[in-house]
């Protein structure tokens, strides 16, 4: 039996980036901690991104996760807001990558479907299900609850990621079966 895996979920945002850390042994999920990294809206974008970088770096170095999961960006009607969210998301991907951690990404609908059973669940439903799955979870904001939900999603899908790596075609080697398996797994 292997030891617990510590998974850090990150819900990126320029104002508030939620983070949530869980521990997983088999199918047992245990709440560790969660919170929010904020940036000062009065600062220029570059300094706000630096605040996010420093905050996420403190979380990563302080909690030493084994794996990280980040929510993917959804495109909305406001292109400027989507671009700013993309900047924050880049920081959320970069910090753990610089620490040498494996980073996985999940669409918001998949997170909602995994945690609540519906890809169109409301934030209140997500918070209720996170609390149901981990009764000791203490989150003060929806951002932190969302980050915990992202970590839970990774806990449920990390086996599929391992299979994808195992069956991925090797560079320079022609393998029709491996290519078919990788294509089938990519459709999940």
Active site residues: 11, 71, 143
Length of the chain: 188
* Burial grade of 71 (CB within 10 A; 0-12, 13-18, 19 or more): buried
**Cα separation of 185 and 36, whole Å?**
33
What is the Cα–Cα distance from 142 to 158, expressed in whole angstroms? 24
Assess contact for 111 and 129: CB atoms under 8 A. no
Per DSSP, which regions of 101-151 are E strands?
103-106
> What is d(CA 74, CA 17) in angstroms, rounded to the nearest whole number?
15
Containing 89, the helix (H) or strand (E) segment is helix 79-98
């Amino acid at each position: 039996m292997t030891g617990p895996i510590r998974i850090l979920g990150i819900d990126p945002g320029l104002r508030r980036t939620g983070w949530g850390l869980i521990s997983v042994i088999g199918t047992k999920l245990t709440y560790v901690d969660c919170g929010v990294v904020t940036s000062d809206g009065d600062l220029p974008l570059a300094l706000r991104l630096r605040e996010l970088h420093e905050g996420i770096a403190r979380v990563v170095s302080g909690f030493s996760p084994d794996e990280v999961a980040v929510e993917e960006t959804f495109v909305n009607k406001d292109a400027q807001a989507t671009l700013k969210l993309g900047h924050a998301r880049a920081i959320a991907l970069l910090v753990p990558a610089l620490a040498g951690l494996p980073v996985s990404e999940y669409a918001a609908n998949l997170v909602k479907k995994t945690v609540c059973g519906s890809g169109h669940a409301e934030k209140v439903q997500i918070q209720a299900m996170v609390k149901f799955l981990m009764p000791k979870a203490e989150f003060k904001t929806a951002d932190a609850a969302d980050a915990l939900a992202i970590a839970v999603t990774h806990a449920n899908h990390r086996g599929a990621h391992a299979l994808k790596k195992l069956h991925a075609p090797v560079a320079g080697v022609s393998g029709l079966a491996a290519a078919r398996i990788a294509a089938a797994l990519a459709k999940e």
